[in-house]
Amino acid sequence: MPHRYNVKGSHMVHYIWSEKVEGMKVSRIRFQDINLQKPSWLAAKHSPLPPADRDYTTKAPCETCTSCNCTWSHVYAAGWMCLNEGCKEHFQLDGDTCTDLTWNPVWMNERTEWPQHIIPPFPLKPTPPLTDSNVPSLEEETSLSCWKGMVCPKCGRCNSRTKWDEWKCLNAACDFELPVTHTVFPARALVEKHGFEFQGQAISFDKCYAPVTKRETEWPGLWRHSTYDIPGGNVVSHFHANAVINQQPGGANEILEALQGSKLGMERFSMGNASAEGLSLVRHFAINYGMPYKYVVSVDSKPFSEAPPTIMNIVNRLTWAGKKVVNDGTYQQFNELLCLGYFENQSIGVSPITLTPLFHLLIQPTITNNKRHNQYHDDGEKDLGPTIASISIGGEAIMTIRMKAKFYFYPKGQTPETYDPLADIEPGTQLYKERLELARLYKAVQKQDEEMDEEEEEEDNDTQERTSPRRAYLRAKTALFAALANDKRKTAPVILSLDLKHGDMVVMHGHPLQARYEHAVTPKGKLRYGLTCRYVKPGNIPLAERWKGDFGIRAEDAYDG
Ligand SMILES: O=C(O)CCC(=O)C(=O)O
């Protein structure tokens, strides 16, 4: 085989059945070559051509199972069996499970004729989409077909799309490269169908649930600024842009055009710990500027001094947003920017479909059904400052925040006997109200016990009187544990959902926010950039690299909303 993954030919499904091997039911599929003009790719070397005249009429005999009424061919030499895994007669021969798996030679030789008028629905070897039309379309530049991969037209290797600005064959011995010059689409083209742009201050479609509380909205300039407090001193701040802000010089519209027009060199990086053979790529494209920062994968960092003006413009704007939120004098100047790029159906994180372009083809329906991989993550690396600011450019996205399961579902493994009703109860955790109520009832029991003990010293008291609060407490505890056992969820509910539109900025502030909560950003549409600034503590960064995060913004150039 020339490559680890190869596209070899089209096959038709000839037969599907279930076998029983050592007590396990194994599904089997028999394929048959469609192209009979040449020896099969799996035929021994120098095999003769397949016979021109095939016998399509001789078939192995069939029988119908008296138990499930399914009809099956004589697949095995040992005799006829029911091959329906759901049937009680499955794989039974003379009252025993069959163990001789030799094929019936007649069945092995039977062939089904491929209806010649039916042409395979898509090319087996996807090539890079060729943009030969005069009308540029997002479809041709960022749709799923632009990143699900290609078979190299030169050497036949199956390749993932790793670079934003080109198709490149990853076979070291092959030099196939196809640069992609992206069309610059205006913001209008990326707005959702029936979407609209706000001319005045934006309307907020954010949703927040307990324990999040929303603060009074502020109006810096034309921005709408919504602030959400999360217990533990954490803040999530949403700066909603509008059309006027986005149209200003240096605004989101210019940023969008500049990002599309410049070859930033964004790449999909390898995870390096693939559980299967081949490349295991993250699902988004990325490039890092300033201090090196490792999120999921290590991304090489370019110094800010080499960053295009639009990147520094974004740092400038995010600095404004960061200072607005952290206005108590503790703001630490950002020194890193991670630029993420998303084509259609991409989102942050590890791709479950990292193997081959064909794999992508097979899994495509799953993606389009929106069954996405887990995008939740935190930015809680120990070398990061507590403030993280990001700007959303292009297509819309939803940002959601939830508590990490290990904090939400406490206490794992406890029983009614070991449960401490007075242990710290954190707002927003599973059955928070019920736990609070239990703590209250428990305190009532304690109080009553103390009072009764005092009285008992004076006179003998009826113990019946002690039972009422205790009964209420025990009832509540039983109900709490029944509810805990009943809760089959694996993840905590979303407590904050932000509707991110083109030009919106979000600031997250607070170490506990990253330690106890996680967030996900799910892009909609076909093209989006998410650019995030952080403060990376220099301590663990090699001296020779620290200068990469240096930059200065002249006071008169500082963005002020
Ligand atoms: O805005 C985005 O696309 C993702 C930002 C994000 O979640 C992150 O950088 O941690």
Q: Quote ipTM for the complex.
A: 0.98
- 383 and 344 in a single domain? The answer is yes
- 195 and 301 in a single domain? The answer is yes
Q: Which DSSP state fits 130?
A: P
- 356 and 295 in a single domain? The answer is yes
- 419 and 368 in a single domain? The answer is no
Cis status, amide bond into 249, omega within 30 of 0? no
Q: Atom 9 in ligand 1: which residue has the minimum CA distance?
A: 532
Q: Any idea which of 31-40, 69-78, 490-499, 502-511 has the lowest mean pLDDT? A: 31-40
- Identify whether 530 is part of a domain: yes
pLDDT tops 60 at residue 498? yes
> What CATH number corresponds to the domain at position 387?
2.60.120.590
Q: Assess whether the C-beta atom of 379 lies below 6 angstroms from ligand 1.
A: yes
- CA distances (Å), origin 36, targets 16, 48, 99, 165, 320: 22, 11, 34, 40, 67
CA of 521 to the centre of ligand 1 (A): 6
- 247 and 266 in a single domain? The answer is yes
DSSP one-letter string for 60-96: --EEE-TTT--EEE--BTT---B--TTSTTBTEETTE
The secondary structure element, H or E, covering residue 106 is helix 105-109
Q: Any idea which of 81-95, 126-140, 274-288, 493-507 has the lowest mean pLDDT? A: 126-140
Of the pLDDT bands very low, low, confident and very high (cuts 50, 70, 90), residue 123 is confident
- 312 and 218 in a single domain? The answer is yes
Give residue 370's pLDDT. Answer: 39
Tokens, residue 29: 């599929």
- 376 and 282 in a single domain? The answer is yes
- Identify whether 254 is part of a domain: yes
- 242 and 366 in a single domain? The answer is yes
**CA-531 nearest atom, ligand 1:** 1
Q: Which domain holds residue 430?
A: 410-452+468-486
CA of 90 to the centre of ligand 1 (A): 51
pLDDT tops 50 at residue 356? no
The count of domains in the chain is 3
- Identify whether 163 is part of a domain: no
- 381 and 415 in a single domain? The answer is no
Q: Assess whether the C-beta atom of 128 lies below 6 angstroms from ligand 1.
A: no
- CA distances (Å), origin 316, targets 74, 319, 489, 501, 538: 74, 5, 42, 19, 20
Q: Assess whether the C-beta atom of 212 lies below 6 angstroms from ligand 1.
A: no
CA of 530 to the centre of ligand 1 (A): 6
Mean pLDDT, range 330-344, rounded to an integer:
96
- Identify whether 263 is part of a domain: yes
pLDDT tops 90 at residue 355? no
Q: Assess whether the C-beta atom of 318 lies below 6 angstroms from ligand 1.
A: no
- 481 and 394 in a single domain? The answer is no
- CA distances (Å), origin 497, targets 122, 513, 521, 547, 558: 39, 15, 10, 37, 30
Distance in angstroms (rounded) separating the CA atoms of residues 490 and 488 = 7
Q: Which of 87, 109, 131 is the last residue of a domain?
A: 109
- Region of residue 439 (left: phi > 0; alpha: psi -120 to 50; beta: else): alpha
Q: Which of 109, 134, 156 is the last residue of a domain?
A: 109
Q: Angle, to 10 degrees, between the axis of helix 309-325 and the axis of helix 252-261? A: 140
- 279 and 415 in a single domain? The answer is no
**CA-378 nearest atom, ligand 1:** 10
- Identify whether 160 is part of a domain: no
- 351 and 439 in a single domain? The answer is no
- Identify whether 161 is part of a domain: no
Q: Which residue has the higher pLDDT, 235 or 360?
A: 235
The secondary structure element, H or E, covering residue 519 is strand 517-523
Q: Which of 486, 512, 529 is the last residue of a domain?
A: 486
- Identify whether 118 is part of a domain: no
Of the pLDDT bands very low, low, confident and very high (cuts 50, 70, 90), residue 148 is confident
CA of 469 to the centre of ligand 1 (A): 50
- Identify whether 264 is part of a domain: yes
Q: Atom 2 in ligand 1: which residue has the minimum CA distance?
A: 530
